[in-house]
Amino acid sequence: MNLAIFDQLSKSSNKVLFQYNLLTGKFDYLSLTVESLWEIDKALIEQSPPLLAKRIDENDQEAVALRLEKVWQGQACQIEFSLCFSSDRSKQVKVDAHPVLDDSGRLTSIVGLVEDVTQQAQYREFLLEFSRKKNNALQIVAHDLQGPLAIMKGVAVLMEMDHTQQNYQDLASHLSIIYRAYEDCNKLIADVLRDEHIKSVATPVNTVRFDIVERVKQTVEAFVQSKVIQMTMEVSSSEEKIMVELDEVKFTQILNNLITNSIKFTPPEGRIRISLELQQNRLFISHADTGIGIPREIQPYLFEKHNSKAARPGLNGEKPNAIGLSIVKDLVELQGGTIQLESEESKGTTFYLSFPLLL
């Protein structure tokens, strides 16, 4: 092969051009750009080609070896892999390799080029992450809007009944509930669009100081007055007022998810009880229901997203989506909190949450 052609190409390209001689185990040609890509002196590589393999990420080495076997069998191949330089620095490269046969059909060398595709790989990763965040955000919105929307629907039914009977005594109260539910929906959408609830160090927690007892009572009252539920709901607290610094939107999501979950698995004659207790510098919340309970064998999977082992239809045939409690866990932990559960079939379920008073 005319190696002068390689010289001409390498002068106008930032790709690494090479021809590796299988008979001598050396490079017949290797362009100088290999130094900037592999960060090894070209003379050293020509003297000892195995130096190239030492840069390959250990997770990619097996795949690279398998592709090289195909080339030795006479097949052209492409492969992408990572080059590692330190614990926090790497490059992504793509190799396009082709076998060269002599007149008798014997494989004598491998020719090809190597390209730095780090930026392209980062862009692909960005698109994948963007798609994942978008899908996650849509799932959260679709799930968490169910509570406030159910409240608005329930109040709308009550208003329709009152209008039929020309009873407008509770109109102001009903409108107030709808407005609060609308505000919750609006805040949820804005919050998801802002940070998409992806659990990472970059996810912002927008803390505000608020009375958490009042927030819990308002949320419960909205469910009760909307007639969405028939079971009894109770709120108790060790203090009349407990001031916390948490993300109010995210806390409301936690509460809505737990209440909605209890409604799905508690019969109309059942009870949902939320208790708040202040102990030193932490707030402890228990959310208990007298529902059908959770089978012991699926409890380990409850907080795992999209794990079908934990998916169960509700008592009224509500379709499971295996996402609600994973959202709760993420939102609790984002605010420095913890969540645990105790449950026994036919007796009910209790979730235990704790939060620091100050973040």
Residue 83: per-residue pLDDT: 92
Q: And the tokens for 156?
A: 């709308």
Q: Which CATH number fits domain 124-356: 3.30.565.10, 3.20.20.140, 1.10.600.10, 3.30.420.40?
A: 3.30.565.10
Residues of the chain above pLDDT 70, percent: 77
* Residue bearing the bigger pLDDT, 358 or 243: 243
Residue 289: per-residue pLDDT: 96
* Residue bearing the bigger pLDDT, 111 or 167: 111
Q: And the tokens for 252?
A: 């409301």
Q: For 23-37, how does the pLDDT look when each residue is reduced to its tens digit (9 = 90+)?
A: 999 999 999 889 999
- Average the pLDDT over 265-282 and give the result: 92
CA angle in degrees (0–180, nearest 5) for 29-35-41: 90
- Of the listed ranges 154-158, 237-241, 254-258, 315-319, the one predicted with least confidence: 315-319
- Kindly list the domain boundaries of the chain, sorted by start residue: 3-116, 124-356
- Average the pLDDT over 208-229 and give the result: 82
- Of the listed ranges 188-197, 239-248, 271-280, the one predicted with least confidence: 188-197
- Average the pLDDT over 100-120 and give the result: 89
Q: Which stretch, 79-93, 214-228, 260-274, has highest mean pLDDT?
A: 260-274
- pTM score: 0.49
Average pLDDT in the chain: 81
- Average the pLDDT over 79-102 and give the result: 88
Q: For 165-201, how does the pLDDT look when each residue is reduced to its tens digit (9 = 90+)?
A: 777 777 777 777 777 777 777 676 666 655 544 444 3
Q: For 114-123, how does the pLDDT look when each residue is reduced to its tens digit (9 = 90+)?
A: 999 888 777 6
Residue 301: per-residue pLDDT: 86
CA dihedral 139, 142, 143, 147 (to 10 degrees): 160
Spell out a b/e string for 177-216, using b for 16 or more CB atoms within 10 Å of the CB, else e.
bbebbeebbebbeebbeebbbeeeeeeeeeeeeeebbebb
C-alpha to C-alpha distance for 245 and 206, rounded to whole angstroms: 9
Residue 198: per-residue pLDDT: 44
Question: What architecture does CATH give domain 3-116?
Answer: 2-Layer Sandwich (3.30)
User: Roughly what angle, to the nearest 10 degrees, separates helices 171-195 and 146-164?
Assistant: 160
